[in-house]
Amino acid sequence: MYYLNGKKYKCSVSITMDIFNDRWKLAVIWYLLEKDKRFKELSEDINEISQKTLTLKLKELEEKNIIKREVFAEVPPKVVYSLTPIGLKLKFVLKEMFNWGIEYAKENGKIF
């Protein structure tokens, strides 16, 4: 039994599902696995996302201690996002999602 932010979870998998229950958070993690990124870089990586939504998702991930936000006192401003240790461990999840995507495409799509 787990207790987290005022919620109870019977199983640890529910915790993960509960955090990543939207379209974008895992995508952000995916691109942060490449390297630390600035706001604009992320926004170009995930080019379907709006600024507003990206801002929101970054804030949520920071609150949940999954990414870190660093502000550099420069002009123009520079803000760098990176994965925390626990955030970095999501690479195992994403690796399996990557693998499964390939398998799924083999059966149901075209690869070229």
Partner DNA sequence: CAGGATCCATTACGATACTG
Partner DNA sequence: CAGTATCGTAATGGATCCTG
Catalog residues that contact a second copy under the rule CB under 8 A: 1-5, 9, 11-17, 19, 21-23, 26-27, 30, 64-65, 86, 89-90, 92-105, 107-112
Would you put residue 76 in left (φ > 0), alpha (ψ -120 to 50) or beta? Answer: beta
Which residue stretch of 2-10, 11-19, 76-84, 96-104 sits at the interface with DNA (rule: CB under 7 A)? Answer: 76-84
Does residue 95 interact with DNA by CB under 7 A?
Answer: no
Would you put residue 71 in left (φ > 0), alpha (ψ -120 to 50) or beta? Answer: beta
The three-point CA angle 61-17-38 to 5° equals 25
Interface residues with DNA (CB under 7 A) are 21-24, 38-41, 48-53, 55-59, 69, 76-80
